[in-house]
Every structure is written in C-alpha cells, then in structure tokens.
C-alpha cells in the first residue's frame, strides 16, 4: 500500500490492518445500565412506585395516605358473618282474646295497639302464663325498637310468671346479645336449650353468639347439634361453613357452602353460599369455578351489584375484558348509591386503563363529598397517567387546602413536587418538597426527592447534601447511597463512583445494578479481569433479567478482548446467544456478535448478522456502526465497491462519525486502485 492510503491513527486504542483500514480494537459495545441518577424517577403519583436504580427494584418508600386496594380482589361484603335470621315468634296456644289481638297487631306492625292489648292482659286477672306471654311480646317490641334494657326488664318480669318457658330465655338471650353482653346471652340461650333441646333456632342462636365472640370451636359444636336435628337446614349448613373458614379449614368449608346452596336452591342462603364460593375460587385463581358459582349467585339476585362486580373481576382476571366491562357496568348501575362499590368499580376501570370511565365514577362520588381526600388523590393520579399534569397538580393542591399541615397534605406536596419536576419547574418543585418537609422534617423520602430536583436544577452540592441527609434519617435504605454513586458515574467521576458502589455492595451485596455499574467502571478503566468478575456476579444474582442480558453481552466482549483464540471467540458467541434468548432481535447483541464473527474471519456470517442488527434497530448510531462493520467485512473479502457503499450508508446514518469517513476514504482508494489495475 502507498503511504497515501494510510489512515492517520489518532486513537490510541485503534490499530490499522495491513491495508490501512481502521479496525476498532474493542469488540462491540459495552452495554451500560441506562438509568443513572439523572434518570431516577421520583415516587410516582400513586401509593408508591418502583425506581429502577437497582435490578431487584428498590421500592422508594414514599407512603401514600391510604393503601391502594388490590384491583383484582373480589368483594366478600356481608358474606363473612353467619346467616342470622333468628325468629322471635312463638306458637301461642292461649285462648285469651286480648293476646290474640295483640299478636295480630304485632304481626301487622301496629305496635302501639299491640302494647295496649298486652298491657291489658298483664293488668288483668289472666293466668300467669298469659301474663308471661304478654310481657314477652312487649319485650320483643322494645327489642325491635332498640330499647334493650327495657326489653330485658320485661323478659325478666315474664320469667316471674313462667320460669320454664324456653322462648322467654331465647328472647332474653337475643336482647343481651344486642347489648353485647355475651356471657348473659350464652347463659340464657343454654337455659332455653335445656328446656327445649330440639329448638333449632336457639341452637343456631347459640352457635352465632359463639361465632361472634370468636369461639369457633363452640360455634361448630352447636351447628353440628342443629344439623343432627335438621341435616339439610340451609342456614345452619352455611353457618357451619363460615365457622370452618374462620378455623382455616377451607376445604371442608367449601363443601358445606356447596351443600347449603344445593339445599336452599334459589333462596337467600343459596345466594350467599354461591357468592362466597365465587369469591373463594377467585382467590384461589380457579376462575372457571369462580365464574360458575358467581353466575349462580347472579341468577338468584340479578340486581345485586356485588355479584356483578365479583363476576366482572373473575372475567377480568381471565382476560375476558369485554365480559368484564359489561358486568362492571351492570354493577355500576345497580350500585349507584353505594359509594364504596362505585370506588371499587372505578379501581377496576383504572386497571383496564379505561381512565374516562374511572374518572366519571370518581367525580360522581366527589359530587356527593367534595372533601373526599382518597378520591381527590385518585383523580389526580388518573390525570397524571393521562399526561394532564396541570389538572393532576390542581387536585393535589385541593388536598393541601382541605387538610393543611396533615399527613395527607405532606403526601400531596410530595406529589406536587414530582409533577413540577416532571414539568422541568425545578425551583417550584424544590419549594413543594420543602413544604412537605415543614410538615414532617424527618422525612427521608422528601430529602431524596429534593436531591433529585436539585440535581436537575444544576445544583449538585445541594443534591448530594440532601441525599446525605436522607441517608442520615434512613441509613438502612440504599436509594440515596445509589443516587450519589449514580451521580458520580454519570459525571464520569469513576474513582468516586467506584468507591461509592463499593460501600453500597459491602452493605447490600445482592444489589445487581451496583455490581453492573462497578463492572462497567472497571471496563472503562481497562481493568478487564475485575470487570469480568463483577459481570459474573450480576448473573449470579439473576441470570434472566435485562441486566443479565447486558452482562452476557459484556462478558462476551471482554472474553474476546482477553483471548483472541478460537475457543474464546466461540465462548463469546454462546454468551451473546444467551442474551438473545432473553431479548430476541436485540440490535446491540447482534452488533457485538457480528463483530466477533468478523474477528473469526467468518465474513458472510458477520455481514448477515450486521444486517439483522440494522433491521432490529431504530438507533442511528447502531445502524451506522453496523454499516461500518459490513464495510469492513466486504473490505476483508476484497469487495471494495460494496465496502465503499456500506461505509457511505454508515455516514448517512451518522454524519459525525469520523472513523467511518476514514474507512470510506480507505475503501475509495482501494476501489480506485482496483479500477486502475493496481490490484
């Protein structure tokens, strides 16, 4: 080659081949973890969010004022307690005309007339049993009215006249239960049962009292006694299932719920049993069974919003979104006056990213209660998701006006700061975070966020001081340590960054991201053995995620640099194939693989791989580098015209790439020499 064909070597690490074509000494790109401190997102507008500064995803613990409900959780409202319709009525055998008229008035709801009749009986010379009956009914009327003490007094008077009447003891037990005097309630229920052991109602009552007090073993015992008398009794079967659930025996409970439903067929017990089964199977993720039983519940009570909601959730979990939306709309219609139900449906719409429906429901709730902090914050979050930052900000601001200087206001200020930071209004964001700190001066998360805002505002000293204060307040949370290390990494202060990551890994050796960053620093400092060891630690922590994919590529690159022999190059290709299994068609990995094929002098294979990288990429620099390497491959094959065309395409993609220009010049000279017959 003539001296004129040589390309000036102005890059220390690059070498020229015999023909003068500039060949980069590195193999492919060391893939860096893209989210350094400058790209850490502060906590999102919801309860909390994930900040991807570590591969194990550290939770930035900015608490929201409420726990976000699980979107796919079926509602078991009113299903957790036993069936509790205990009758107070008795069969009256008295021939007393006033008692008969009193009972008739009672049954029709004419309570004052009933009391008048019963009083006449008590004040008359009627037999003691008739007086007991009249006093008992007067007690029942007062119990119905919530006058429990008066009812207890009347029942006690009734017992003076008829101490062996089991119905009086049963009703006395009910009154004590209403007053939550469970000891007296149990004593009187037992007295009633002792006088009438076959009374199914009182056995059920006693079981329910034990259930209410948390004595599930005794509740189960009483329900079983009732089932000995009436084996197919739907309420008792249901209650036994409920008690077994409380004991943790879900398998047996499910069978009794099924028996209760089958026994009752289309009644209220069947409805509750099938609803409960639907919830249980939804929680088990047995969606076909959940849908089967919830459909049964809906068929019994089509207008029950809870059934429609739960069935909608089951379809939602089964990814049948159209059916889910139909049922959620039905639940919305039937539950329009139930604020909590509307809120749950709103959450479901939100999970489907149907923000307009979700907003409509939340605004309906807000129209009734404009000071509902939970709904205001949810609306703000939706506006944030929709990119309407001004409206999101305004809803958070309303919270600070409704509840100033409270925990809710603190969270609102944090979210306002996040919105302002997203809007590039860094100074205003800092003021919002400072207001949050004025409410809670020891909030480490606020210091972390204000550090991010200071960094964005170009005030690195204040940023680092804020992160250090966050560390002082919460030394067991790695997020601010990482922010400082990432800042140094971003600014290419690699020695400082290495020191910070080293300290982090001493305390948190499983932070995959920190291992990746420190490995990349070692690579940049040409400490390849150290880099290789650190990338291998990345894989040891998790070999199946995005950082692992990048680590595979980088280990391949380092392996090919450390040893240029056939075995090492083959090993490098195998590693890149592992990366491609994690992300098929990844352009960076394909580019690196192509360069290794180029080193192995497998030029056709290299060219094909570079074209795959071009096809997979939207990054002009990767496309340009791929064309550059296609040009090198053609140059090596002696196809100078094709090499020239490839270098030209590379320059079109990245006009600033001087290396490609130099290679294009060398290819042009070689092609011209070929045309002139010099080769």
| 470 secondary structure, DSSP code | H
Residue 400, number of CB atoms within 10 A of its CB:
21
Question: Any idea which residue has 């195998």 for tokens?
Answer: 574
pLDDT of residue 335: 87
CA distance 234 to 229: 13
Residue 381, number of CB atoms within 10 A of its CB:
24
**Per-residue model confidence as pLDDT tens digits over 157-203:** 999 999 999 999 999 999 999 999 999 999 999 999 999 999 999 99
**Per-residue model confidence as pLDDT tens digits over 382-401:** 999 999 999 999 999 999 99
Percent of the chain with pLDDT over 70: 87
Average of per-residue pLDDT across 219-232: 96
State the SS3 of 105-163: HHHHCCHHHHHHHHHHHHHCCCCHHHHHHHHHHHHHHHHHCCCHHHHHHHHHHHHHHCC
**Helix 216-229 and helix 234-246, axial crossing angle in degrees, nearest 10:** 160
Percent of the chain with pLDDT over 90: 79
CA distance 228 to 505: 66
Q: Is the pLDDT of residue 64 over 80?
A: no
Domain boundaries, the chain: 1-30+618-679
CA distance 206 to 482: 60
**Per-residue model confidence as pLDDT tens digits over 414-426:** 999 999 999 999 9
Q: How far is CA 539 from CA 51, 502, 511, 513, in A?
A: 21, 18, 12, 11
Identify the burial level of 339 via C-beta atoms within 10 angstroms of its C-beta, where 0-12 means exposed, 13-18 middle and 19 or more buried. Answer: middle
Contact indicator for 44, 52 with CB cutoff of 8 Å: no
Q: Is the pLDDT of residue 74 over 70?
A: no
Residue 355, number of CB atoms within 10 A of its CB:
16
CA distance 81 to 288: 26
Question: At 94, is the pLDDT very low, low, confident or very high (cuts 50, 70, 90)?
Answer: confident
CA distance 97 to 105: 12
pLDDT of residue 337: 84
Question: Any idea which residue has 């879900």 for tokens?
Answer: 250
Q: Is the pLDDT of residue 119 over 80?
A: yes
State the SS3 of 237-289: HHHHHHHHHHCCCHHHHHHHHHHHHHHHCCCHHHHHHHHHHHHHHHHCCCHHH
pLDDT of residue 84: 76
**Per-residue model confidence as pLDDT tens digits over 455-472:** 999 999 999 999 999 999
CA distance 249 to 257: 12
- Both ends of the chain: CA-CA distance in Å? 10
CA distance 635 to 668: 10
Q: What pTM does this model have?
A: 0.65
Q: Alpha-carbon Rg of the chain, whole angstroms?
A: 39
Average of per-residue pLDDT across 661-670: 94
Contact indicator for 649, 668 with CB cutoff of 8 Å: no
Task: Identify which has the larger pLDDT, 34 or 445.
Answer: 445
pLDDT of residue 276: 94
CA distance 136 to 155: 5
The domain defined by 1-30+618-679 folds into 1.25.40
Least confident segment among 192-196, 239-243, 333-337, 407-411: 333-337
Contact indicator for 368, 338 with CB cutoff of 8 Å: no
Contact indicator for 579, 553 with CB cutoff of 8 Å: yes
Question: Any idea which residue has 């059934």 for tokens?
Answer: 307
**Per-residue model confidence as pLDDT tens digits over 496-507:** 999 999 999 999
Task: Identify which has the larger pLDDT, 81 or 29.
Answer: 81
């Amino acid at each position: 080659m003539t001296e004129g064909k040589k390309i000036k070597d102005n890059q220390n690490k690059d070498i020229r081949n015999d023909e003068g074509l500039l060949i980069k000494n590195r193999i492919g790109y060391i893939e860096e973890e893209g989210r350094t401190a400058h790209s850490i997102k502060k906590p999102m507008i919801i309860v909390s969010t994930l900040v991807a500064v570590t591969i194990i995803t550290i939770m930035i613990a900015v608490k929201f004022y409420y726990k976000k409900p699980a979107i796919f959780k079926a509602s078991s409202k009113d299903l957790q307690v036993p069936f509790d319709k205990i009758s107070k009525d008795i069969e009256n055998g008295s021939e007393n005309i006033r008692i008969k008229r009193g009972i008739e008035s009672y049954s029709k709801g004419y309570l004052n007339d009933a009391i008048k009749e019963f009083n006449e009986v008590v004040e008359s010379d009627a037999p003691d049993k008739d007086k007991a009956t009249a006093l008992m009914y007067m007690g029942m009327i007062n119990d119905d009215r919530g006058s429990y003490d008066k009812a207890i007094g009347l029942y006690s008077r009734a017992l003076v006249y008829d101490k062996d009447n089991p119905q009086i003891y049963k009703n006395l037990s009910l009154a004590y239960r209403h007053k939550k005097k469970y000891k007296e309630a149990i004593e009187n229920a037992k007295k009633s049962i002792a006088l009438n052991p076959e009374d199914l109602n009182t056995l059920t009552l006693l079981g329910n009292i034990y259930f209410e007090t948390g004595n599930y073993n005794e509740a189960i015992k009483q329900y079983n006694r009732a089932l000995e008398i009436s084996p197919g009794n739907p309420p008792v079967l249901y209650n036994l299932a409920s008690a077994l659930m409380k004991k943790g025996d879900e398998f047996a409970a499910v069978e009794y719920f099924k028996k209760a439903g089958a026994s009752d067929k289309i009644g209220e017990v069947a409805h509750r049993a099938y609803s409960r089964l639907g919830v249980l199977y939804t929680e088990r993720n047995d969606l076909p069974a959940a849908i089967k039983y919830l459909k049964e519940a809906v068929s019994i009570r089509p207008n029950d919003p809870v059934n429609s909601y739960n069935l909608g959730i089951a379809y939602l979990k089964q990814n049948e979104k159209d059916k889910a939306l139909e049922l959620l709309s039905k639940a919305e219609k039937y539950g329009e006056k139930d604020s909590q139900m509307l809120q749950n449906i709103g959450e479901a719409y939100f999970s489907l990213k149907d923000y307009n429906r979700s907003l409509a429901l939340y605004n309906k709730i807000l129209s009734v209660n404009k000071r509902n902090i939970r709904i205001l914050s949810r609306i703000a979050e939706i506006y944030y998701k929709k990119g309407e930052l001004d409206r999101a900000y305004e809803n958070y601001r309303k919270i600070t006006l409704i509840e100033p200087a409270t925990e809710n206001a603190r969270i609102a200020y944090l979210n306002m700061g996040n919105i302002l930071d997203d809007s590039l209004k860094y100074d205003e964001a800092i003021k919002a975070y400072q207001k949050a700190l004025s409410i809670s001066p020891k909030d480490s998360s606020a210091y972390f966020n204000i550090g991010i805002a200071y960094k964005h505002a170009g005030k690195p000293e204040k940023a680092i001081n804020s992160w250090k204060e966050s560390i002082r307040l919460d030394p067991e949370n790695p997020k601010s340590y990482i922010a400082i290390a990432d800042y140094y990494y971003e600014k290419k202060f690699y020695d400082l960054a290495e020191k910070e990551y080293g300290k982090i890994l001493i305390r948190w050796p499983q932070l995959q991201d920190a291992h990746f960053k420190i490995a990349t620093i070692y690579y940049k400092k040409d400490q390849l053995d150290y880099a290789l060891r650190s990338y291998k630690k990345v894989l040891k922590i998790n070999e199946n995620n995005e950082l692992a994919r990048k680590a595979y590529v980088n280990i391949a690159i380092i392996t090919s640099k450390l040893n240029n022999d056939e075995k090492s190059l083959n090993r490098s290709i195998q590693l890149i194939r592992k990366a491609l299994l994690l992300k098929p068609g990844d352009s960076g990995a394909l580019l690196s693989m192509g360069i290794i094929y180029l080193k192995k002098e497998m030029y056709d294979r290299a060219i094909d791989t570079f074209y795959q990288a071009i096809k997979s990429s939207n990054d002009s620099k990767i496309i340009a580098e791929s064309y550059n390497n296609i040009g090198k491959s053609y140059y090596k094959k002696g196809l100078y015209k094709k090499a020239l065309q490839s270098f030209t395409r590379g320059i079109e993609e990245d006009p600033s790439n001087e290396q490609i220009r130099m290679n294009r010049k060398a290819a042009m000279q070689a092609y011209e020499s070929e045309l002139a017959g010099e080769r």
